[in-house]
Structure 1
C-alpha cells in the first residue's frame, strides 16, 4: 500500500468508526505504523471534514510535522513502539464499552468471543487524565498479552495488524460490552473456565479468527468441493 493509499484508508476507517456507532463527533483517534514512525489523526478535526493530507506524521521521539496530533498521541506512540506484533491502534468511546469502563469493570469470559482480545478477560486500565504519560502507562499494562482493553472512565483501545482487523475488533469489543451489560441485570453470568478459554484461543489462532479468510488446512471438517 502506498503512502497515499494508506492515508485514504485511514480516513475511510475513521468515518466507519462513526457510521458504525462506535464513535461520536471528534472523540477517538487512530494511528498506523508508517516507515520509521507513524501516522495519526489530528486533534479536534471532525472525521467528515478530515482529508488524507490532514493526517499527522510523527516520529517515536514525539516530534511531528503539519497539524497538531491527537491529544492521545502518547499511548499511540508507546503502544506501537512496544508492540511489534501490531501496526494499528484504534481508540474510541463506544457507549457500552465506556459504560463498563466508568465502573472500572473488566469483561470476564462470560462468552467465548472474549478470546478474540487474546486472553481470558478484557482488562480495564486504571483511570488517568487524557493525553498524559500516566494514561499511556496504564494502557500498556492493561494491554499486556492482549489486543484490546477498556480505559477507566474513558473508552476502549483495540489493536490490529491492519485497519480492518482493528476496526473489526473494536466493534466486537463493543458488542461483547453490550451483551455483558444486558446480562448483568439477570445476575453475574457464569464464566468459562481458563482451560476452555485456552482451547478457544488456540482454535482462534489456528483459524486466524477475525483476521480474514482461514488459511488452507486450518479446518479439518469443512472442505471445498473438488
Structure 2
C-alpha cells in the first residue's frame, strides 16, 4: 500500500463510520501507521468534506510536529502513544458512538455478555479514567487500561479500537458499539448472564485460527 492509498482509505473509513452513525460531523478521529510516521485525520473537518490531501503527517518519534495543509486532530497524542507502545498496531479508530459513549458516561466496563468480546483480547472491555481531550493525562489513562487489548471505553468521552490495519480497527469499532448496545439493553431488563473467562478464552483460540474470517463470525 502506498501512502496515497492509505490516505484514501482513511477518508473511506471516516465516511463509513459517519454513514453508520458511529461518528457525526467532525467527531472522532482515525490514524494509521506509515513506516516511521503517523497519518491522522485533521482537526474540525466534517467527514463529508475530508480529502486525502488534508490528512496530517506526524513523525512517530516527534513531539507534535506535523506536515500538511491542516493541523492534526487535537487527539493526536494518544494515537501516537498507542502506535509507539504497540508495534503490532497499524491503526487506531476513535469514535463517539452513542451506546459506547452512554456506558463511558456511566463509567461501566462491558463484561462478557456475548462471545464476540473475545475479539478484543479479554473477557471485559474496560473504561479508562476521565481526562480532558488532547492531554497527556488522557493518553496515560488510555494506555493504562488498554494494555494488549484491542479496545476500551473512554470515560465521559467515547471509545477507541486498535488493529493491525484500518480494516480490522474499523470492524472492531462496529463490534464494540454492537456490544455496548446489547449491554445497554440488557441492563434495561435487569441484567443478563455473563460468560465465564474460560469460555471466552476458548472462543479467542478459535478466532485466532479463523484469521480474516474472524471479522465475520456469527
Q: Shorter-chain-normalised TM-score: which range?
A: over 0.9
Alignment partner of 1:63 out of 53, 62, 65: 65
The residue number in structure 1 matching 2:77 is 74
Alignment of 1:132-143 (within 5 A): 132-143=135-146
- For structure 1, the 5+ residue unaligned runs are 215-226
Please report how far the alpha carbon of residue 145 of structure 1 lies from its aligned counterpart in structure 2 after TM superposition: 2.1
Please give the alpha-carbon distance, in whole angstroms, between the structure 2 residues aligned to 1:97 and 1:190.
20
The residue number in structure 2 matching 1:190 is 193
- Kept in 2, the 8 Å contact 1:85–1:161? The answer is yes
Please give the alpha-carbon distance, in whole angstroms, between the structure 2 residues aligned to 1:151 and 1:210.
28
- Kept in 2, the 8 Å contact 1:42–1:69? The answer is yes
- Relative to the length of structure 1, the TM-score reads 0.91
Note if 1:90 corresponds to 2:93. yes
- For structure 2, the 5+ residue unaligned runs are none
Please give the alpha-carbon distance, in whole angstroms, between the structure 1 residues aligned to 2:15 and 2:131.
27
Please give the alpha-carbon distance, in whole angstroms, between the structure 2 residues aligned to 1:208 and 1:181.
29
- Kept in 1, the 8 Å contact 2:130–2:155? The answer is yes
SS at match of 1:65: coil
The residue number in structure 1 matching 2:40 is 40
Please report how far the alpha carbon of residue 204 of structure 1 lies from its aligned counterpart in structure 2 after TM superposition: 1.1
SS at match of 1:39: strand
Please report how far the alpha carbon of residue 212 of structure 1 lies from its aligned counterpart in structure 2 after TM superposition: 5.7
In structure 2, do the counterparts of structure 1 residues 36 and 209 end up closer, same or farther at CA, with 3 Å as the change threshold?
Answer: closer
Please give the alpha-carbon distance, in whole angstroms, between the structure 1 residues aligned to 2:97 and 2:175.
11
Please report how far the alpha carbon of residue 90 of structure 1 lies from its aligned counterpart in structure 2 after TM superposition: 0.4
SS at match of 2:153: strand
Please report how far the alpha carbon of residue 211 of structure 1 lies from its aligned counterpart in structure 2 after TM superposition: 5.2
The residue number in structure 1 matching 2:31 is 31
- Kept in 2, the 8 Å contact 1:168–1:210? The answer is no
Please report how far the alpha carbon of residue 208 of structure 1 lies from its aligned counterpart in structure 2 after TM superposition: 2.1
Please give the alpha-carbon distance, in whole angstroms, between the structure 2 residues aligned to 1:168 and 1:6.
17
Find the structure with the greater CA-based Rg: 1
- Relative to the length of structure 2, the TM-score reads 0.94
SS at match of 1:64: coil
Higher helix share: 2
Note if 1:115 corresponds to 2:115. no
Q: Which segment is superposed worse, 57-66 or 105-114? A: 57-66
The residue number in structure 2 matching 1:222 is none
- Kept in 2, the 8 Å contact 1:97–1:150? The answer is yes
